[in-house]
């Protein structure tokens, strides 16, 4: 792309001093930008700049403008492919003869509709990034903007994930400028964290957060697309291949028949809620805690996943779960006695509290479930973890090993794409693999039958 620089007298509006501003004009085939200098001249003096015999004052002005044009052309050559944003950041904002462009934006800003909203005081106290001051153009500045936006939108879990990612990068090399986050930086980060024992899955989560930071920075004209370090032939975000340990039928039976301490209702509650998730299509615990009595329709619970509610606003995807006898017993034992349509089925959260407080209460409840299922795991001699997440994986794996189609499992789990479901499913269990492997020996029966016939 051809980019040209020239010195231009902007005669569109005369100043009170009867002069006009001298500007640096940079233009391409599609766009022209004018950058004001600190020099004002009348038309006669501007024309004299090309003459041989001029006053000492005009000679100094001419030399300054020639040097400006020369330096601008060199900056343009170094800026390949050319970007006006990059040119302004690296040249216009720092060249002493040019007037600093006040409209240039290097700090990430919240959408106007969110700027007047207040962040929860308890969230500010817990997440230091919300009250910190960051230099413009740094990763902390954009991370902060994204985290504030997520907090104000009530997406507390996502905000927490970005906060954890920022802390990881900050511990690596500090709050660096975005332009310092190159392919080399990201590879060094990955090697550094791998050496400290971080899993590929965690590294993938954190670097995806950094990728989102760059996308936000580009959308706000803080960096240019050419500074984007992700993609083909650049840095590729690693994908973890963790082993998904679903429970076997034998292990599920042990849990189902486990006799809880009669004097400890919390243990019974943990067991019942875990099985409620398993029997309920592996329903996520966040969704369980937001179920209302109005979601029950003729023996089914019909709801929309909280995780995909925003993304599917125009085309909501509803999940329908058949209520088993075990699920009914759990609702009768631990459910709300007031079955008004808008009441939560399980009275764990206070819908009148802040979204941040609801998030904290959910975490506390899930932690309680996991602590007691860990106790059951030890008592039953099960080596695999029994967490709320395992209930969901076990449901999907049992369905898969039973020959149920992936399409059905996708619908049951509420996944938006079939690929997500395929990646989510655990591999077949060993018993199934052994049974299927025996099919490879079927050809032997042909030889046996042949010998018998002879």
Q: What is the pLDDT along the chain (454 residues), one digit of tens a residue?
A: 789 999 999 999 999 999 999 999 999 888 899 999 999 999 999 999 989 889 999 999 999 999 999 999 999 998 887 878 788 888 998 899 999 866 556 678 887 767 777 888 888 888 999 999 998 889 999 999 999 999 998 899 999 999 999 999 999 999 999 989 999 999 999 999 999 999 999 999 999 999 999 999 998 888 888 889 999 899 999 987 655 678 989 999 999 999 998 889 999 999 999 999 999 989 999 999 999 999 999 999 998 887 665 555 556 678 889 999 999 999 999 999 999 999 999 999 999 998 899 999 999 999 999 999 999 999 999 999 899 999 988 888 888 888 888 887 887 777 777 776 766 665 555 566 566 566 666 665 655 555 555 5
327-357 pLDDT, tens digit each: 999 999 999 999 999 999 999 999 999 889 9
Residue 19: predicted pLDDT: 96
Secondary structure, 3-state, the chain: CCCEEEEEECCCCCCCCCCEEEEEEEECCCCEEEEEEEEEECHHHHHHCCCCCCCHHHHHHHHHHHHHHHHHHHHHHHCCCCCHHHHHHHHHCCCCCECCCCCCCCCCCCCHHHHCCCCCHHHHHHCHHHCCCCCCCEHHHHHHHHHHHHHHCCCHHHHHHHHHHHHHHHHHHCCCEHHHCCHHHHHHHHHHHHHCCCCHHHHHHHHHHHHHHHHHHHHCCCCCHHHCCECCCCECCCCCCCCCCCCCHHHHHHHHHCCCCCCCHHHHHHHHHHHHHHHCCCCCHHHHHCCEHHHEECCEEEEECCCCCCCCCCCCCEEEEECCHHHHHHHHHHCCCCCCCCCECCCCCCCCCCHHHHHHHHHHHHHHHHHHHHHHHHHHCCCCCCCHHHHHHHHHHHHHHCCCCHHHHHHHHCCCCHHHHHHHCCCCCHHHHHHHHHHHHCHHHHHHHHHHHC
pTM over 0.85, yes/no: no
The fraction of the chain above a pLDDT of 70, given in percent, is: 87
Residue 440: predicted pLDDT: 63
Residue 117: predicted pLDDT: 79
Residue 172: predicted pLDDT: 96
Per-residue b/e over 344-367, b at no fewer than 16 CB within 10 Å?
bbbebbeeeeebbbbbbebeebbe
Residue 105: predicted pLDDT: 60
Residue 454: predicted pLDDT: 57
Residue 446: predicted pLDDT: 57
Whole-number Cα distances in Å, 364 to 121, 160, 231, 286, 350: 19, 15, 38, 12, 13
Q: What is the largest CA-CA distance in the chain?
A: 121
């Amino acid at each position: 792309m051809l980019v040209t620089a020239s010195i231009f007298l902007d005669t569109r509006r005369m100043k009170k001093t009867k002069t006009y501003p001298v500007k640096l004009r940079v233009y391409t085939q599609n766009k022209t930008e004018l950058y004001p200098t600190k020099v004002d001249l009348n038309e006669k003096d501007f024309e004299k700049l090309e003459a041989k015999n001029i006053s000492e004052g005009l000679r100094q002005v001419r030399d300054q403008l020639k040097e400006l044009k020369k330096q601008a052309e060199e900056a343009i050559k170094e800026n390949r492919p050319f970007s006006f944003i990059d040119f302004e950041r690296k040249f216009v904002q720092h060249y002493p003869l040019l007037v600093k462009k006040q409209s240039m934006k290097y700090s990430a800003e919240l959408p106007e509709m969110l700027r007047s909203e207040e962040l929860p005081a308890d969230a500010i106290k817990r997440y230091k990034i919300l009250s910190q001051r960051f230099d413009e153009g740094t990763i902390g500045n954009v991370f902060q903007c994204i985290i504030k936006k997520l907090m104000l939108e009530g997406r507390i879990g996502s905000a927490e994930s970005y906060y954890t990612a920022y802390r990881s990068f900050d511990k690596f090399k500090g709050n660096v400028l975005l332009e310092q986050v190159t392919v080399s930086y990201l590879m060094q980060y990955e090697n550094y964290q791998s050496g400290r024992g971080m899993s590929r899955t965690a590294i993938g989560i954190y670097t995806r957060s950094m990728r989102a930071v760059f996308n936000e920075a580009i959308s706000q004209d803080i960096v240019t697309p050419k500074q984007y370090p992700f993609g083909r032939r650049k840095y590729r975000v690693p994908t973890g291949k963790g082993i998904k340990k679903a429970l076997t039928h034998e292990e599920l039976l042990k849990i189902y028949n486990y006799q809880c301490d009669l004097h400890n209702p919390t243990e019974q509650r943990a067991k019942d809620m875990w099985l409620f998730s398993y029997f309920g299509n592996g329903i996520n615990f966040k969704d369980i805690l937001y179920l209302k009595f109005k979601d029950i329709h003729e023996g089914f619970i019909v709801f929309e996943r909280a995780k995909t509610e925003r993304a599917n606003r125009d085309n909501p995807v509803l999940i329908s779960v058949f209520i088993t006898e075990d699920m009914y017993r759990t609702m009768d034992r631990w459910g709300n006695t007031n079955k008004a349509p808008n009441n939560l089925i399980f009275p764990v959260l206070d819908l009148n509290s802040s979204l941040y407080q609801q998030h904290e209460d959910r975490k506390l409840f899930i932690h309680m479930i996991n602590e007691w299922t860990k106790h059951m795991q030890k008592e039953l001699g099960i080596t695999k973890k029994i967490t709320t997440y395992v209930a969901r994986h076990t449901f999907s794996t049992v369905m898969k090993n039973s020959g149920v189609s992936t399409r059905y499992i996708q619908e049951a789990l509420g996944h938006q794409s079939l690929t997500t479901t395929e990646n989510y499913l655990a591999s077949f269990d060993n018993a199934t693999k052994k049974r299927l492997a025996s099919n490879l020996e079927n050809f032997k029966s042909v030889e046996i039958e042949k010998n018998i016939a002879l």
